[in-house]
Chain A
Amino acid sequence: MSDVILEMKHITKEFPGVKALDDVQLTVRKGSVHALMGENGAGKSTLMKCLFGIYHEDAGEIILDGEKLEIMNSKQALDLGISMIHQELHPIRFRPVMENIWLGRFPMRGIAVDKKTMYQKTKELFKEVDLDVNPEIDAGKLSASTLQLVEIAKAVSYNSKIIIMDEPTSSLTENETQHLFKIIRQLQDKGCAIIYISHKMEEILKISDEVTIMRDGKYVGTWDAKDLTTDLIIKRMVGRDMTNRFPEKHYTPQDIPILKVTDYTSTNPKSFRHVNFELKKGEILGIGGLVGAQRTELVEAIFGLRSIESGTVEMNGKPIKIKSPPDAIEAKIALLTEERRATGIFGILSVLDNTVIANQRAYAKGGVLKENERWKAAKKSNEELKTKTPSMMELIENLSGGNQQKVLLARWLLTNPEILILDEPTRGIDVGAKYEIYTIMHKLAEEGKAIIMISSEMPELLGMSDRIMVMAEGRVTGTLDAIDADSVSVMNYATHFVEKAEDEIDESEVVK
């Protein structure tokens, strides 16, 4: 086969205690979009990091354009024509966008950086990918989704033969995703191959030519995308039939209001304003909206992480004042944050320490820890949630995303909350773990706990919520009963203010 650009054979990679990759293979054809799928922890990212020179495989070979290679670092990978768009972006925040793009290969004039040429080249590049961003604006001022598109432009600028995209759409809106697909088609026409990692089935089926599926660090198989359906992919990913994406409901919300938020307004004028809502016992209240609707800011304010200008919170009919997270925990409110890595896990600490951190006082007397009780509580809590970990002493960073999320859930359940706020609880988590988390949520609702769930995934929002509150530009634009809601009605409310919102983004981002 002459049109094969990349072959990875018998790739094996071991981490302490985990065999992340076990005899995996991948064959990518020139100019094709090759989707790489699998549950979290299946080894997709690890495989790609081996290809990009971030990790070095223990065994196996990489053949690029018919040539056997050993890729030692990212610089070499880029020189070979492989570029990668990472799942989590790390721009240099206080430097201009264009410097971020050309870093390491600045156009030079003598010993000085040629800013003019750099500006021109960046302009041309942005034009090519149809992106309207000022090259001289600081990267830190751009929104996550714009940054993602800039990152894609950067990958294009390397004239790569292969571009790896690891969950490129996780922070993109529907329109931006379409934009990305357009860019992908352009790249394809130039003969560039794309390796596309995503959990979103609809996207995969739409954009990819071939699909390789992995499971538990092993190769399952490669199929033409046109021969696949969502159900088929899920079945092969989890190794079992998955007829239902959501568990069946066995509970009904009680008619007892537990939380009442009145006229909640942020001190930040661009954030949420005049928010009113009520939460009932044993209810899952979904909060929908587009990126930038200030949903996260709202729940973080309720949890005491952000300040408010006005507004009251009543819990069980009594007004409460929450000024800091300890107040919130005291009031039996828990918050699972959106950014697992940045504000959730303590990567260098053990699963044990990570599980009990929010409830340490319960396992201590006079500040001295009772080791045995800590251990027992963490073990029990993690076993209930079926967390997969070699031991309680394992560092949490060695677990897969889904298992990390379960540890975080275990952490909050140990505080015995009455209200759980879950901000994108299944982001970047595989189908199997998602289902398990949904089951846990149902069980909690059945126990009479109240759940607020922020979700940007429409099926999840519709499938899991009892009621859906939709926000746009910091305001509640509508509340729907789940039975009456469909994606059209939710989107209608979510785009309520969108024109004005776009104007504001223009002002802040595109200074021209």
Chain B
Amino acid sequence: MSAAVIAERVIPRKNFGRTLMIIGGVITALAVILWFALPPSIFYDLALYVGIVGVGLLAYGANQAFSKKSSDQVVEFTKKTTSGFIMNNAIIIALLMMVVVIMIIQPRFMQLNVLLDILTMSSTKMIVALGICFTLLIAGTDLSAGRMVGLAAVISTSMLQTAGYANRFFPDIPALPIILPILLAVVACAIFGVLNGFLVARFGMHPFIATLAVQVIVYGATSLYFDMPPNKSQPIGGIRPDFVALGQTKILQIGGFSGISILVPIALVVTVIIWFVLNKTVFGKNVYAIGGNREAAVVSGVNVFKTIMCIFILASVLYGLAGVLEAARTAGATNNYGNGYELDAIAACVVGGVSLNGGVGKVSGIVTGVLIFTVIQYGLQFIAVSPMWQQVIKGAIIAVAVAIDLMKYRKK
């Protein structure tokens, strides 16, 4: 069969799924062979990555073959569908290519530990991005995210210092149950979330302005708190080990395996919850509706005020959580924690396909977006690209990713 014939054909979805399953199975088997055959000193954990690809294909193929929803549809292979597929998944394809290139340049990148590091580094960013995505989905934004991370970090650590530490924020505070300062930190963020939501929903203020105002207020408030005597703006240190454990514990340390940071499962749980909220709840559907057509949402009886309030409160709670985890991970805090996180998070969302015009965006896209930025940062450091070049590349990726995304919609 010539290539042209293969390029243009239609096959039932079931067969398509089965073919994918067979390919996935072969790759998985290959991975098992590689695991034993390849010398680990040269190829590190390459077999593991091959295995991930294999299992991924297997799972996708099984989904295609056995899913009832689309079983009667066919899969078309034409120039149009192929280019459409590349367009729709351009970001993921670029990510995979980048990983392969870095692996070739620096085989040490194939270590499992690298993957785990990337996941750990992504965790808190993921939580912030998942918070901010709600505000983007209603065609808004939230500039106060980063400063709320700082607020939560400072509040939580200020009450969780060891008794013997010299520069205690509250010298006479007894050993509090760990949950209390954490709750206080999150509640403090939520209060500013209420303020954000109120300015936007009650006065119809553009979220850019409302959250800019709140950003400045939050930073001021954090700094005032941070500057209280006896602390006088010194970095908060001497954090209680039971709190630090929240960000530094490694789970599954079996044998030679170095373990997974506890931040990874926490971020995973938050991701699943947010996916559920966006896709399976009335609130989530209302968010998309308001983003899609606010006037129509009003007519359809959607409580826009309540929904917007909930959006900003939920987002601020997530920033608060991220701030607490960030403080625990680094075992300390200053009032400058979280500075600029909102822009990273917005960039990650946008690269992941969230439209600033509202109404469009998926959790899977946001996860990809966050991972891309961490991989770039980590990977480029790994092959010793200068931090200045890293900035240039990061910016270029934002521009290119969004350009591709817009081309998708423009093609009519």
Residues in chain A within 8 A of chain B (CB atoms) = 15, 55, 303, 305, 324-326, 328-329, 335, 337, 342-349, 353, 357-358, 360-361, 364, 367-369, 371, 411, 415
Contacts and interface: CB of A to CB of B under 8 A. Distances in A.
Interface in B284-341: 285-286, 288-289, 292-293, 295-303
Contacts, number: 73
A349 B300 contact: no
Contact of A345 (B283, B296, B298, B302): B296
Nearest to A357: B300
Contact of B359 (A305, A335, A346, A367): A346
B412 A55 contact: yes
Given A325-B300, A358-B300, A345 B293 contact: yes
B359 A343 contact: no
Contact of A347 (B292, B297, B302): B292
A368 B281 contact: yes
B314 to A, nearest CB: 13
B301 A369 contact: no
Contacts of B285: 353, 357, 360, 369
Contact of A325 (B286, B292, B293, B298): B298
Given A364-B281, A367-B282, A349 B298 contact: no
30 contacts: A303-B299, A305-B298, A325-B300, A326-B303, A328-B301, A329-B301, A335-B299, A337-B299, A343-B295, A345-B296, A346-B289, A346-B292, A346-B296, A346-B297, A347-B293, A348-B292, A348-B360, A349-B359, A353-B285, A357-B289, A357-B297, A357-B300, A360-B282, A361-B282, A367-B282, A367-B283, A368-B281, A368-B282, A369-B280, A415-B301
Contacts of B303: 324, 326
A63 to B, nearest CB: 24
B278 to A, nearest CB: 11
Contacts of A325: 298-301
Contacts of A345: 293, 296
Contacts of A360: 282, 285-286
Nearest to A16: B84
Contacts of B286: 360
A371 B276 CA distance: 12
B281 A349 contact: no
Interface string B116-140: 0000000000000000000000000
B284 to A, nearest CB: 8
Given A369-B285, A371-B280, 18 more contacts: A325-B299, A326-B301, A343-B298, A344-B299, A345-B293, A346-B293, A347-B292, A348-B360, A349-B359, A357-B285, A357-B302, A358-B300, A360-B282, A360-B285, A367-B283, A368-B280, A368-B282, A369-B281
Nearest to A337: B299
Interface of B: 280-283, 285-286, 288-289, 292-293, 295-303, 359-360, 412
Contacts of A369: 280-282, 285
Contact of A353 (B288, B295, B298): B288
A371 B283 CA distance: 14
A356 to B, nearest CB: 8
Nearest to A364: B282
A344 B301 CA distance: 12
A316 B286 CA distance: 31
A398 to B, nearest CB: 11
A83 to B, nearest CB: 21
Nearest to B302: A357
Nearest to A374: B285
Contacts of A358: 300-301
A360 B302 CA distance: 9
A18 to B, nearest CB: 12
A470 B293 CA distance: 32
A343 B299 contact: yes
A353 B296 contact: no
Nearest to B284: A369
B101 to A, nearest CB: 34
A293 B298 CA distance: 24
Contacts of B298: 305, 325, 343
Contact of A349 (B280, B282, B283, B292): B292
B87 to A, nearest CB: 13
Contacts of A364: 281-282
A55 B288 CA distance: 28
Contacts of A368: 280-282
Contacts of B359: 346, 348-349
B281 A367 contact: yes
Contacts of A357: 285, 289, 297, 300, 302
A349 B290 CA distance: 11
Given A342-B295, A343-B295, A367-B283, A349 B301 contact: no
A367 B285 CA distance: 10
Q: Top 10 A-B pairs ranked by shortest CB distance?
A: A346-B292, A329-B301, A358-B300, A343-B295, A325-B301, A326-B301, A360-B282, A357-B300, A346-B293, A364-B282
Nearest to B280: A369
B411 to A, nearest CB: 10
A307 to B, nearest CB: 14
